[in-house]
Amino acid sequence: PRMATDATDARSAAQSDESPIIKPEADARSYLFLTLPNRLRVMLVSDLEADKAAACMDVHVGSVSDPEKLPGLAHFLEHMLFLGTEKFPKEGEYHEFLSAHGGAHNAYTAQDDTVYYFDVVQDSFKPALERFSQFFVAPLFTEAATGRELSAVDSEHGNNLQSDMWRLFQLGKGLAREGHPLGKFGTGSLVTLRDEPAARGYNVRNSLFSFYEGHYSANVMTLCLYGRESIETLREWAHELFAQVPDRELGPDMPQLAVAANPPFATREEGGALGTFCRVVPVMELRLLTVCWQMPPSRPHWRSKPLSYMGHVLGHESEGSLLHLLKDRGWADSLSAGESSGTDGWTSFVLSLELTEEGDGKVTEILDVTFEYVAALRGAGPSPRILAELAGLAELSFKFEEKGSALSRACLMANNLRHYPPAEVLVGGMLHLESDEKALTSFLDALDPANVLVQHVSKRYESEAVAELGIDAPTAVGAPAADIEAAGSIVDIKAATAAVEALDLAAAAVAEGDGSVGGAGALDVWRRERWYGTRFKLTAIGSSDLLRWSDVPALAAAASKQQPPLRLPEENPFVPTEFSIVAPLRALTDPPVAHPPPPPTKLGGGPTGVALWYKLDKTFLKPRTAVYVQIKAAGAYVSAEASVLSNLFSKLLADALTAYAYHAECAELHYNLYNTTRGLVLKVGGYSHKLGELLRRLLDKIASLRGEAVRADRFEVYREQQTLDYANFWRGQPYAVADYTASATLETPKWHVREYQAFLADESRCSAATLREFAERRLFADGIDVDVLVHGNATEEDARAYATLISESLLHPGPAGGVPLATSRQPSARCVRLPKVGGGVRHISASNNKDESNAALDLTLQLGPANPKQDALLGFVTAVLEPRAFAQLRTTEQLGYIVATATRWVHGVRALRMVVQSKTAGVEVLEERVEAFLARFGETLAALPAEEFERYRSSLIEARLQRDKTLAEETGRDWAEIAGGTLQFDRNAREVEALRALTPQEVLEFWKENLAPSAPNRAKLVVAVRPGAAAEPPPPPPPLAADAPPAVQMAPPLFELSTDKDLLRFKRSMQLFPCSVPSEPQDAFATAVATALAAEHDRA
């Protein structure tokens, strides 16, 4: 390997490209590209206003480079780099350092690259880089860490086993031709990384070193450093820290990457998957139809972006589009189209449809219509108008791009350096730099049915699959053996050998009945995918279908005769042409604007029933505006039925506006309408010029939909969709179900999902007629109040005009109108006060997915209503606790892949929250180990060195003083205070004052009094979800290490809940915390409530 001998040599040997980086005119950041002497390519970004720094390293190696006999090795190595280097050997030190300095980190392994990234408070950038750089210089891969982290990788795979996204992803990869690297299993498991290698005599730790040394080389890496420092300082750091990364002189034609560049899917004549129809049985209630074309590579055409044109037209939703026709017939509800994946040698382009119940039985007809529209697109050829429109919109997006976070920019640039010249690293993925109609025509011609793989995912195939394969799906071959050993222990070679034989048999079964190497395997029989056990069947697409879909002239003619006719999108009426800025422009040399920015102003003299808040943007100075509207209506959440109908109302409104509003979405003018416990919320944001037009149309539709007949067919589509969504929720990840149950326990009012399901299932009560009557006479029957926030590039006159428009549309006499809401009818939401007695409250249930192998624990330790001092104490404790909980419970004890610590906020009441999901421990063990950790954590707080205390305090202060990165971020922060009724716009500033006054003794006392297992004021809620009925029980817990926190005696719960009835009785018997009270200036009542709450907290 080549590397510079010292920083001086590195600086002298480095090469910088002085070509200016193409950037937006208003971008004040400085950029420099350089190549270090070890051929590491680096992009430097100096941002004088940055309050966080970030770095990202993209290594051009991924799962396609896994050794054939070690699936998942690249992903496993990604995990291992975090667990110690020669210079920083302590496991978890990197995580602890970043957490103590307001930072975060992560990584991911893709097909042909592995990406590592972090951010950190600005003042700690260099020491964070010192730790980060050593990943790529001298990792340890210790024996102990290797053994333990294998279990973490296996837990990650276990979390994915019941995920349809992962199952379909691997199924698609597995249809690649035999020997193609795309087909590899990239996650890894104990079988592939421990048992099988042991049986074959492999030492996985040695394999880690070999893989690292064979693939991690400076010349196949790209790095971005983003900080407040000058370009020269960043350049020195890059030399000093990253010139040490060895250059192993790897070429771009590394064997596995070269093979991966070949098209993965073979034709039907070659025994491949192209030209086949794949039926798939999902875990969830899904109805998906995807059409995937294998195409030539798109990467060489990045300047003209032909697939962007194809995705735009095929994915359009306006009148004349494919989706518009399918929705009109009641066959589909959503459609997406675009490039899915690819390399330098091939690309896959996918059109994906979510089908309705009727559409699920009309697949042949849908495919016929789809290929008619494809033929119309091919027959029309490239449209200069559409090409110009796409190029113009991209130019606007680039010109008025907002800064975003340091981390997002660092990741973007590190990745883009792999694909674009340095000078065009910012524009390469965004702008249409040239028009190439010839290339576009060649890609349009590639939309040939001979290049296609069709996949239909539906539960309708369940009985057919069961008839051939049986009812009980066996554990996927990639799953670990039932007798998992303690991490790091000696592997049972006999059991491992049996696992290897099972793998080999499974591999043989995949290819059974097919003498070719095409990858499709046997046709017309139900099979199980090797790693996830997904049930699927491939059949050849009929020659008559292929012939019909290939007749472009006939299909194009048929498309024009459809009702409504299929055609290319019309000119977009929402493309803005006026970009003047209302606020005075600042020169690039002007100092940064004041921070924190002032709060919005409540304007008087507006329409009755409308509270108007306004703020002119003086920070971002882009031609964008946001208008947020909250319609507070007591009738919207008065019952479970009302909540369902409010939700259906918002969905049907969006459905009715799709054809019109999709043009606005394309022009970056977005809207969202959804229901809450208070009523309805409408958010509109984007370019200021034509925002008013979209807002007016939205308000008109809200009014008209409440006074006209609801289409019964569209109602049924969304009633059914909502029914499936709720059914799928219970089959989701156990930790998500636990989180919902915790919320249902703490929030009031809170209608339960099962109540929603019961109402949706009753067609006599839940009908289009019911929704019409509800919308016309009940939704706004008790009156409405409207909160409006106008923020951005708008004058006060504009804001008042928007408020008048909203008032005239929503507040008017008549059955479909609304009147101001009486004070006594104001919606309110409150939090249940948990008992501070015994072991608190425990709710345990089993997963509704019988095959779910994971258990989950969600622990809540409730405090009280938010106040600056309490919030500062809780924030400090959480910051110290989080990395240590992760290190102990996940890394050391290997309880599960998901271990998270955060704060919970329920209607103004704060709590500490810990979540663990595991397939190796039951819920009782999880609770015992979490409590044992918490019992010892007090010692950690007591022994926290003064300098470390100060580091945590400083990072928390810096985090709360960070500037908003986008207009939407600032709008969202202000809106949270307005919509929630708290109006504490200076919340962060108050908390900063409290943090500055914090002492170590206060933190320790806060812990001992409120959160420790023995705390007298501890208010505990445990929600746990057990594995499904058919899942293997977890193995016995392994012996604890000598230095592990000892078990503690847990008090039995005061309330043991298991049913919805138990939950309802519990909530009715508990006291509630007061509602959140606005803290408007000189509000004596709010002050009195705050004083009373503080006194009560002190007494407690």
Contact 17/34 with Cβ under 8 angstroms?
A: yes
Q: Is 351 exposed, middle or buried (0-12, 13-18, 19+ CB in 10 A)?
A: buried
Please report the pLDDT score of residue 16 as a whole number: 62
- Scan for tokens 């019909």, then name that residue: 548
When pLDDT is cut at 50, 70 and 90, the band that residue 813 belongs to is low
**Rounded alpha-carbon distances, angstroms, from residue 165 to 158, 172, 284, 532, 921:** 14, 11, 10, 11, 25
- Both tokens assigned to 688: 């200021």
Please report the pLDDT score of residue 490 as a whole number: 34
Sign of the CA dihedral with 1086 first, then 1091, 1094, and 1095 last:
negative
Residue at 838: amino acid letter: G
Q: What is the average pLDDT across 716-729?
A: 95
Using the predicted structure, report yes or no on whether residue 8 has a pLDDT greater than 50. Answer: no
Comparing 548 with 256, the larger pLDDT belongs to 548
Tell me the average pLDDT of the chain.
Answer: 90
Give the CA count within 13 Å in the CB-facing half-sphere of 935: 15
Burial 527-544 (b: 16+ CB within 10 A, else e): bbbbbbbbbbbbeebeee
pTM for the full predicted model:
0.91
DSSP string computed for 883-923: HHHIIIIIIIS---SEEEEEEEEETTEEEEEEEEEESSS-H
Please report the pLDDT score of residue 261 as a whole number: 85
When pLDDT is cut at 50, 70 and 90, the band that residue 917 belongs to is very high
Using the predicted structure, report yes or no on whether residue 584 has a pLDDT greater than 80. Answer: yes
Using the predicted structure, report yes or no on whether residue 12 has a pLDDT greater than 80. Answer: no
Comparing 487 with 111, the larger pLDDT belongs to 111
Q: What is the average pLDDT across 684-708?
A: 90
Using the predicted structure, report yes or no on whether residue 17 has a pLDDT greater than 80. Answer: no
- Both tokens assigned to 562: 């459809």
**pLDDT, tens digit, for every residue of 510-551?**
434 333 467 899 999 999 999 999 999 999 999 999 999 999
- Both tokens assigned to 332: 């589909």
DSSP structural state of residue 266: P
**Range with lowest mean pLDDT among 221-225, 583-587, 1075-1079:** 1075-1079
- Both tokens assigned to 696: 């007016």
Using the predicted structure, report yes or no on whether residue 391 has a pLDDT greater than 90. Answer: yes
Q: Closest by alpha carbon to 243, among 424, 13, 426?
A: 13
When pLDDT is cut at 50, 70 and 90, the band that residue 1089 belongs to is very low
DSSP string computed for 274-320: TTEEEEEE-SSS-EEEEEEEEES-SGGGTTT-HHHHHHHHHT--STT
DSSP string computed for 563-591: SSPP------TT-------SSPPPPTTSP
When pLDDT is cut at 50, 70 and 90, the band that residue 501 belongs to is very low
**pLDDT, tens digit, for every residue of 937-950?**
999 999 999 999 99
Kindly report the backbone phi and psi dihedral angles of residue 577, in degrees, each rounded to the nearest multiple of 5, phi listed first.
-130, 0
**Is residue 749 reached through a cis peptide bond, with omega within 30 degrees of 0 on the bond before it?**
yes
**pLDDT, tens digit, for every residue of 983-1029?**
999 999 999 999 999 999 999 999 999 999 999 999 999 999 999 99
Q: For residues 299 and 1035, give the distance between their C-alpha atoms in angstroms, rounded to a whole number.
A: 48
Residue at 231: amino acid letter: I
When pLDDT is cut at 50, 70 and 90, the band that residue 704 belongs to is confident
Please report the pLDDT score of residue 18 as a whole number: 63
**Is residue 422 reached through a cis peptide bond, with omega within 30 degrees of 0 on the bond before it?**
no
Q: Is 1 exposed, middle or buried (0-12, 13-18, 19+ CB in 10 A)?
A: exposed
Please report the pLDDT score of residue 719 as a whole number: 96
- The rounded radius of gyration (Å) of the Cα atoms in the chain is 30
Q: Closest by alpha carbon to 228, among 106, 406, 100?
A: 406
Using the predicted structure, report yes or no on whether residue 762 has a pLDDT greater than 60. Answer: yes
Comparing 14 with 536, the larger pLDDT belongs to 536
Contact 113/59 with Cβ under 8 angstroms?
A: yes
Q: For residues 399 and 401, give the distance between their C-alpha atoms in angstroms, rounded to a whole number.
A: 6
Comparing 1034 with 331, the larger pLDDT belongs to 331
Q: What is the average pLDDT across 442-459?
A: 96
**pLDDT, tens digit, for every residue of 883-914?**
999 999 999 999 999 999 999 999 999 999 99
When pLDDT is cut at 50, 70 and 90, the band that residue 777 belongs to is confident
Q: Closest by alpha carbon to 380, among 422, 441, 436?
A: 441
Q: Give residues with Cβ within 8 angstroms of 939, minimum separation 6.
A: none
Q: What is the average pLDDT across 293-310?
A: 96
**pLDDT, tens digit, for every residue of 148-168?**
999 999 999 999 999 999 999
**pLDDT, tens digit, for every residue of 197-240?**
999 999 999 999 999 999 999 999 999 999 999 999 999 999 99
∠ CA 200-202-208, rounded to 5°? 145
Q: For residues 632 and 1028, give the distance between their C-alpha atoms in angstroms, rounded to a whole number.
A: 40
Using the predicted structure, report yes or no on whether residue 480 has a pLDDT greater than 50. Answer: no
Residue at 70: amino acid letter: L
When pLDDT is cut at 50, 70 and 90, the band that residue 1054 belongs to is very high
Question: What residues does 121 pair with on adjacent strands?
Answer: 52
Calculate what percentage of the chain has a pLDDT beyond 70: 90
Calculate what percentage of the chain has a pLDDT beyond 90: 80
Please report the pLDDT score of residue 1100 as a whole number: 41
When pLDDT is cut at 50, 70 and 90, the band that residue 483 belongs to is very low
Residue at 77: amino acid letter: L
Instruction: Compute CA 207 distance to the chain's CA centroid, rounded to the nearest angstrom.
Output: 33
∠ CA 396-400-405, rounded to 5°? 130
Q: For residues 292 and 272, give the distance between their C-alpha atoms in angstroms, rounded to a whole number.
A: 14
The helices-and-strands tally (H runs, E runs) of the chain is 36, 28
Please report the pLDDT score of residue 951 as a whole number: 95
When pLDDT is cut at 50, 70 and 90, the band that residue 486 belongs to is very low
Please report the pLDDT score of residue 253 as a whole number: 60
Using the predicted structure, report yes or no on whether residue 593 has a pLDDT greater than 80. Answer: no
